Amino acid sequence: MNDVDAIAAFGALAQDHRLATLRQLVRAGKTGMAAGAIAEAIGLAPSSLSFHLAQLSQAGLVTQERQHRTIIYRADFAAIQTLVGYLLENCCEADGCTADPTKEISA
């Protein structure tokens, strides 16, 4: 990951509805959720949610898969792990650290 990608990802998360959306998708795990279920869970109008899902997808934090007539959205755990790893890659370089940025996040 580079600075530009990290800024895009953190920028996408710097909005309360997008942060709530990603946190809801993280809770949903590998199963993911349809947009209507996400909107209901976080109390947001479906039309507004579409915009926020697009921003999260563009930042690479959310994936989508069509299942018949429904689109299922999922948190991209690999991308989230990469972002956390980028943030912690130089953690406490001067004096050691107990954080392990290489530890995988699992759904």
What is 3-88's CATH topology?
Arc Repressor Mutant, subunit A (1.10.10)
- Residue 106 has what pLDDT? 61
Q: What is the pLDDT of residues 23-60, one digit of tens each?
A: 999 999 999 999 999 999 999 999 999 999 999 999 99
- Would you say 9 and 90 are in contact if contact means Cβ atoms under 8 Å apart? no
Half-sphere exposure of 88 (CA within 13 A, CB side): 14
Please answer whether residues 58 and 18 qualify as being in contact, where contact means their C-beta atoms are separated by less than 8 angstroms: no
How far is the C-alpha of 38 from the C-alpha of 103, rounded, in Å? 28
pLDDT given for residue 107 in this prediction:
58
Ordered by start, the domain boundaries in the chain are 3-88
pLDDT > 90: what percent of the chain?
Answer: 78
